[in-house]
Structure 1
Amino acid sequence: MATDFPAGPATGPRVLRPDDWDSWYDTLIRAFGGVPESPEERELWNALTEFDRSLGVWEDGTCVGTAGAFSFRLTVPGGALVPTAGVTMVGVAATHRRRGVLTSMMRRQLDDVRSWGEPLAVLTASEPAIYGRFGYAAATFGLSAEIDTGRVRLSVPAGADDVRLLYASPADVLDVCEDVYARLVPSRPGMLARRPGWERLGVLDPESERDGASPLQCVVAGRGGEVAGYARFRVKLGWGEAGHNGTVVLEDLAALDPETEGALWRFLFGIDLTTTLSLRGRPADDAWQYQVSDIRRCRARSRDALYVRLVDLGAALEARTYQAPVDVVFEVEDDFCPWNAGRWRLSGDAKGASCARTTEAADLALSVRELGAVYLGGVSLGALAAAGRVRELRAGALTEAAVGFGSTVTPWMPHGF
């Protein structure tokens, strides 16, 4: 049977139409290996897709490239929620690699984000090497661990004994759990204020994603007459010659105070017939690390998580606060978004900041990637300088800026998108 090959090159990116979503999403799935998602997952992502913020590249009626941008609000140091484009669903057909399809979508997307008045763009990178050339840099890191709960003991705050724990259906307590999450959002940089519909992501439970573990379970924690925390998890039973060796797989845990958090961790450590607690993507400063009897038997490790791109440099640096006074002039390189390039004077402290163009002599020279890496306070300017990524042009400027950009709370991306 003859095959009719497309006659011409792919067109430039255009906004996604609702009736094109299935073919657009099929292109994305194929770009990530072609393994079909469950109907529940597919329906949810269809419902969450913002069509007017999604792009496709087409060649003679065939979709060959996909990209989207959710409209998020991201917590930054100081607690402000900043309008942010959550870059997502980026894929290029393997038949059209190295033909400029991705670059054309990134170009159109960042131009759009700027026109929407959103100073930041963020993403999670399937291949980190791809996005550096578009100005993105890793700004948060997730903690994973495989804790040997058969040998590791946990010491929690004394008030944990006052916390009451109850099993509940994840769907039945979704609203109260979402309220706990919403109350935590302003307290940690990197957290996302969830729009209606996004709460469903936390209880999505297709059997294909369980890897032999139980359906999703949930425990809610009560303290002082209100729900103060929750944990969502699965249990994967196992048996060996010596007896049980099951695993608790933690999906999500949130608490409003240290006592409630301690009670939830203690519960997870002690679930019957299990000897391992598996967790991933947790905050790098999770408290349990300082409560365990043997950190080596926890096999803790870190991985890059949220990548940040400053789209409007001045507005982005003004949106956050600084934990110590800073008054510094940056010489910024930004080849992909040249409107950010040049000298900027940042003056700020814990109360607020201003950032404007200047002709004054530069104190520090760096690219927009370094500013993205340090923006949420989880990466040190000093470390980047030691790596040769930041140049100090005025003595003392590096220390001043590094201290100011820091954060007493480690930034954290709570979930993917």
Structure 2
Amino acid sequence: MMRVASETEPMGAQIDIRPVTEATYEAFRHAFAATFGFASSTDEIERSRAWAEYDRLLAARAPDGSIVGTSGALSFGLSLPGARSAACAGITMVSVRADHRRRGLLTRMMVDLLDDAAARSEPFAALWASESPIYGRYGFGPAVPTIDISLDRRHADLHLDGPVGEVRFIDIEEARTTFPALHERFRTTRGGVMSRSDGWWTRVLTEQPSPAKATGPLRLALLPDRGYVIYHLASAWSDGAPRGVVHVHDLVGLDPAALAALWRFAIDTDLSETLEIVRRPPDDPVLHLLRDPARARVGAGWPLYLRLVDVPSALASRGYLVDGTVVVEVADRLRPANAGRWRLTVSDGTGRCDRTDEAPDVSLDVAELAAISLGGVRATALLDAGRIDGSSAAALGLDRLFAAERAPVCDQMF
């Protein structure tokens, strides 16, 4: 349970930070939405209760009772290299009302959220940063780069079509019994993928595409025991011809033929001209499945930001492809227990992280250590950018040690 925090501001107004309750949840959601410039309907708020964790949501209240800040966390499992997983706090719904900015309110909420994560033995925290420059000072680094892909149906022939004839539409109830196990199997193949509770699957399977006008319902398609795809068609017409856009929400294929079949099935949606999908890994196999990859429009997507709440536990949680030893000196102004020199020793693919007085091979902030921790960002790139201190050989050694079989990915916004 989170502690109750209070803060006396320079103007003398006291701000209380307290966990949300079932009764105050609706006001919390409205306050968050107002800061981000949109409105939440009563139906949307009621639906979101399926995955809300009230005791992990914080509302900051002014003396008049109004909510002037919001933040929260979701309990996830984060997939790690080596087919491993660790508990992770998914930081979410962070906002501060404009008339209460720059008074330390965000810092107090972030400290409370990270303290709570530590108390729950969650070695990682993660978030999607709406304004990324804010979160580096709280120790979050962009650890999971993603790409967005747009395909023109006319130029989306694949080298392999796979068993597309075996893909079939299913209803929500069948999806509830088949999709979760497939997603869990997918999580063992890449780092960065969050687990999904029953409540979260309710969100995935009932999400209403926006805007509703000219937008069809979610389509749920299953390739039995091998994968699934969730998408919707946004209808559009020009000069009497269909120009619809297929928006893919989630696509999981557990072998090359399955992956090709599911891509083919979505690409061939009637009345569509293009397919768009976001939050894909930089090494997405579809870029090699395409016969004409130059026609694909690929752009940088939002990266997932990661934070090491407990440095030794986080580094010992993942698997490693090679054995080796490295000494890192970590700076962490928000969580002093992480600061100092750590010796990471990897043997038979398992890491152990201990305090040491040895001279460091590399010195870096905890945000940079988080950025490289899943193998999605190279230490040599950070060295070249002046973000870490050490020799080229030491940075290259970190890259070898932190390498993963595949690029990490996070396939869901939270």
Give the TM-score taking structure 2 as reference length.
Answer: 0.92
Greater shift in the superposed pair: 189-198 or 373-382: 189-198
Q: Is the contact between residue 219 and residue 231 of structure 2 (CA under 8 Å) also seen in structure 1?
A: yes
Aligned to 2:343: 345
Aligned to 1:361: 359
Asked if 1:55 corresponds to 2:58, the answer is: yes
For residues 55-113 of structure 1, give each alpha carbon's deviation from its aligned partner in whole angstroms, at most 9, with x where no partner exists.
22111111111111111111111122101111111111112111111111112222222
Aligned to 1:264: 262
Greater shift in the superposed pair: 395-404 or 117-126: 395-404
TM-fit CA distance, 1:129:
1.0
What secondary structure does 1:173 align onto?
Answer: helix
The equivalences for 1:250-289 within 5 A come to 250-289=248-287
Q: 1:243 to 1:334 in 2, by over 3 A?
A: same
For residues 135-187 of structure 1, give each alpha carbon's deviation from its aligned partner in whole angstroms, at most 9, with x where no partner exists.
00111122212211113322116xx1476111223444232112211222222
Aligned to 1:184: 186
TM-fit CA distance, 1:190:
0.7
Q: For the residues of structure 2 that align with 1:83 and 1:196, how far apart are their CA atoms?
A: 17
For residues 234-293 of structure 1, give each alpha carbon's deviation from its aligned partner in whole angstroms, at most 9, with x where no partner exists.
122333237322221111111221111111111222222222111111222221111212
AA of the residue aligned to 1:48: W
Q: For the residues of structure 1 that align with 2:61 and 2:240, how far apart are their CA atoms?
A: 58
Greater shift in the superposed pair: 171-180 or 404-413: 171-180
AA of the residue aligned to 1:290: H
Q: Is the contact between residue 10 and residue 57 of structure 1 (CA under 8 Å) also seen in structure 2?
A: no
Q: 1:40 to 1:375 in 2, by over 3 A?
A: farther
Q: 1:54 to 1:243 in 2, by over 3 A?
A: closer
TM-fit CA distance, 1:46:
2.5
Aligned to 2:85: 81
Structure 2 unaligned segments of length 5 or more: list them: 1-10
Q: 1:304 to 1:258 in 2, by over 3 A?
A: same
Aligned to 1:403: 400
Aligned to 2:175: 173
Q: Is the contact between residue 26 and residue 45 of structure 2 (CA under 8 Å) also seen in structure 1?
A: no
What secondary structure does 1:197 align onto?
Answer: helix
TM-fit CA distance, 1:208:
4.3
What secondary structure does 2:412 align onto?
Answer: coil
Q: 1:362 to 1:73 in 2, by over 3 A?
A: same
What secondary structure does 1:304 align onto?
Answer: coil
1:123 to 98, 110, 127: 127
How big is the alpha-carbon RMSD for the aligned residues of Structure 1 and Structure 2? 1.9
Q: Is the contact between residue 35 and residue 97 of structure 2 (CA under 8 Å) also seen in structure 1?
A: yes
Q: 1:239 to 1:20 in 2, by over 3 A?
A: closer
Aligned sequence identity (%)? 34
TM-fit CA distance, 1:361:
1.0
Q: For the residues of structure 2 that align with 1:358 and 1:146, how far apart are their CA atoms?
A: 49
Q: For the residues of structure 1 that align with 2:404 and 2:230, how far apart are their CA atoms?
A: 28
Q: 1:49 to 1:136 in 2, by over 3 A?
A: same
What secondary structure does 2:327 align onto?
Answer: strand
Q: For the residues of structure 2 that align with 1:243 and 1:23, how far apart are their CA atoms?
A: 45
Aligned to 2:413: 416
Q: Is the contact between residue 82 and residue 318 of structure 2 (CA under 8 Å) also seen in structure 1?
A: yes
Aligned to 1:64: 68
